[in-house]
Each structure stands twice: as C-alpha cells, then as structure tokens.
C-alpha cells in the first residue's frame, strides 16, 4: 500500500495519535516557555520605549503576535476542516474543534491588548479602527464556529459542521479584512496604531520571539485539548480502557 496513505491512516488512528502527541507536548511547552520568557524580557525590559508612544508600545509584543495567531489559527482550521470533510479523517475533526477556543482566546487577547494600548494612545478604550474592527468580526466568526459545534448532539456531525463553517469563514476572511480596511480609510483617514514607517531591530527581535512562542503555545494547547477530547470521546473503547489499567499499575 502507498506509504503516504499508510502514514495518514496511522496518524488518523486515535491511540497512535494520543501516544505520540503525548511525547511531543512537553517539548512544545518547554520551547514556548523559553521563547516567551526571553521575548518578554527583551520586549519589556531591554527594548527601547517608543519615540511617540512611550512605554505603552510594549503592549505590542503581546498584541501583534496574538493578532497574527488569531488569523493563522482560523486559516489552519479551514485547511484541517477541508481535509476532515473530504477524507473523513477523525483526527482532523478533533484538531479543528480543539483549535477554535485557542483561536478565539488569541482574538480576545488581541482585542483586549489593543484596547488597552489604545487608551494611552488615542485617549479612549475603543476606536473603530481597521485592525480592532477586523479582530472583532473575527471573534464573531470564531464564536459562530464554536456555537455551531455545540448546537449539534452527535460529535462527529458537529465537528463536520464546524469544519464547513470555518472553511466558509476563512474564504470570507480576506474579503472582510480588506473591506474593513477600506471602510476605515473612508471614514477616518490614516489610522492610528500602525507600527510606523519601519521597525527598529531591537524591537523586531522580541516581536519575532513572541510570535514564534505563540505558535508553540498553540501547538502545545492544541495537542493537549485534542488528546483530552479523544479520551472523552473514546472512553468506552478498548484503547482507553487499556491506558487506564496501564496507568493504575
């Protein structure tokens, strides 16, 4: 049999996935902690304050990576959702629905940090600028997927519905983003909150570190959630029973 097919078939098998992701997760957490610690240190302590915005610019090290992750995760959900729907691979279904809460959390963090950043910069906690507005609509898209998943009784059907919705949402996402950008220029002229003409290298490094750290956070969180979901879903099956008896020895 085709080895590629075998590989997907194997990784699609829940016990196999559970075992090997379990080995991976601690490494992911470790890398995340190291990168995040170093990145935050560089960003909050070492890097210079901004010429215009002062110390408050440091929120950027949380806000920007979160915003990037919020969009990346939705895109990943769509890709995994597509695979899940077309090839009916259960593991993909589980990964899609495990990603949604993480993505929503990053979106919320982006919104909250964006809002906190706005206070010293613009004087209010909220303005309808392009980025914040897009993030808000993205949050609603995430809520839609999560609520849709929870509305169905049967878990696999629910996961497939959520997958379809995330594909539809992902296709619309660039359109939404650009239309909001355009709407913003229409109504406000140039927006606040952009990073300026160029970013200083001493600010770039912590930013990239945080961006990478968030990816490892996502990976660790995703795998942990997925493993838990698999255990819950398969609790009657042999492989879970075996695991439990193993662990009790």
Contact footprint for other proteins (CB under 8 A): 85, 88, 137-138, 140-141, 143-144, 147-148, 151-152, 154-157, 160-161, 164-165, 167-169, 171-172, 175-176, 178-180, 182-183, 186, 233-234, 236-237
Tokens of 188: 């406000």
- Give whichever of 41 and 183 is closer to other proteins, judged by the CB atom: 183
Please say which residue, 21 or 229, places its beta carbon nearer to other proteins.
Answer: 229
Residue 6 CB burial class (10 angstroms; 0-12, 13-18, ≥19)? exposed
- Least separation in angstroms between residue 152's CB and other proteins is 7
The whole-angstrom separation of Cα 202 and Cα 88 is: 46
Write down the least CB distance from residue 35 to other proteins, Å. Answer: 32
Q: How far is the CB of 37 from other proteins (least distance, A)?
A: 36
**Closer CB to other proteins, residue 32 or residue 142?**
142
Q: Which CB sits closer to other proteins, 172 or 188?
A: 172
In the complex with other proteins, the residue whose CB is nearer, 166 or 221, is 166
Grouping H, G, I as helix, E, B as strand and the rest as coil, residue 135 is helix
CB atoms within 10 A of CB 81: 29
Output the smallest distance, CB 91 to other proteins, in A.
13
Quick check: 21 and 95 in contact, CB under 8 A?
no
Tokens encoding 71:
């969009």
Token pair in block for residue 211: 């961006």
- Our CB check for other proteins shows the closer of 185 and 202 to be 185
Distance CA 214, CA 65 (A): 7
Closest CB 47 distance from other proteins, rounded Å = 35
3-class secondary structure for 154-172? Answer: CHHHHHHHHHHHHHHHHHH
Q: How far apart are CB 171 and other proteins at their closest, in Å?
A: 8
Q: In terms of Cα–Cα distance, which of 69, 78, 71, 104 is closest to 165?
A: 78
Alpha helices in 123-154 (DSSP H): 130-151
């Amino acid at each position: 049999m085709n080895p590629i097919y075998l590989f997907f078939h194997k990784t699609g098998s829940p016990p196999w996935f559970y075992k090997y992701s379990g080995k991976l997760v601690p490494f992911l957490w470790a890398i995340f902690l190291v990168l995040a610690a170093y990145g935050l240190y560089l960003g909050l302590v070492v890097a210079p304050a901004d010429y215009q915005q002062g110390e408050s610019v440091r929120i950027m090290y949380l806000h920007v990576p979160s915003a990037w992750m919020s969009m990346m995760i939705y895109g990943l959900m769509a890709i995994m959702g597509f695979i899940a729907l077309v090839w009916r691979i259960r593991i993909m279904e589980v990964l899609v629905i495990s990603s949604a809460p993480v993505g929503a959390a990053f979106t919320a963090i982006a919104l909250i940090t964006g809002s906190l950043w706005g206070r010293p910069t613009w004087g209010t906690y909220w303005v309808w600028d392009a980025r914040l507005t897009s993030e808000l609509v993205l949050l609603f898209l995430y809520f839609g997927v999560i609520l849709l998943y929870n509305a169905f009784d049967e878990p696999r059907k629910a996961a497939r519905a959520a997958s379809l919705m995330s594909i539809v949402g992902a296709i619309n996402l660039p359109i939404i983003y650009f239309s909001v950008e355009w709407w913003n220029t229409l109504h406000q002229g140039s927006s606040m909150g952009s990073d300026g003409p160029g970013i200083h290298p001493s600010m770039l490094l912590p930013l990239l570190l945080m961006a990478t750290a968030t990816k490892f956070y996502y990976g660790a969180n995703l795998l942990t959630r997925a493993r838990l979901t698999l255990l819950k879903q398969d609790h009657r099956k042999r492989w879970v029973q075996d695991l439990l008896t193993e662990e009790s020895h």
